[in-house]
Amino acid sequence: MAFTITSTGISDLLILEPQVHVDDRGHLLEVFNGKRFAEHGLPRSFMQANHSRSRRGVVRGLHFQWDPPMGKMMRVTTGSAFLAAVDIRQGSPTLGRWFGMEVSAESKHQLWAPAGFARGFCVLSEWAEVQYLGTGTYNPACESGIRWDDPAVGVEWPLPDGVEPVLSAKDRVAGTLAEWLARPEADRFEYEG
């Protein structure tokens, strides 16, 4: 089994498209292969797996964690969602730049966003289930977020017509990218280009 890796135009932020084997029984695909991942500079191991279910219009993010630094491999297993990542690495030529793509259970694509990216998603279908593998374990004392609608970042969330975003209390009060970059913890993410 194999997968195709595509650049997003932002260093280290990658799209993985698995080879899907289909027959009259259904399908089979490889979601993770430590050896192949290592060959492409991706993590060989993950420390935590999360699975969320959300309804249409839910926006989660943009989240990140600095201790331990956590990269995430994201995929959609039911429905469809718009996955987004923002470069928050000090010194990066793409600092503040975002990338987003619609991912569905049918497309089976994955988005890899290493530590140094704020990540989130918006549900496009009636319901969506998003699963992600993290390279670190969750530490609420060292997590933060950037406003989903920070105008300096400008993520173009494709909310369905007439659907207002459904946000958590935490996401409603998240700071801006500029506020995050002014914090001493922001130095934990430096571009190593």
Report, as residue numbers or ranges, the catalytic residues.
Answer: 63, 132
Residues 6+ apart with CB under 8 A from 116: 12, 64, 69, 87, 88, 89, 92, 189, 190, 191
Q: Please give the structure tokens belonging to residue 172.
A: 């409603």
As beta bridge partners, residue 79 has none
Distances (CA, A) of 9 to 50, 150, 192: 27, 21, 16
At 159, which amino acid appears?
A: L
Q: Quick check: bond before 151 cis, omega within 30?
A: no
Cβ proximity of 117 and 61 under 8 Å: no
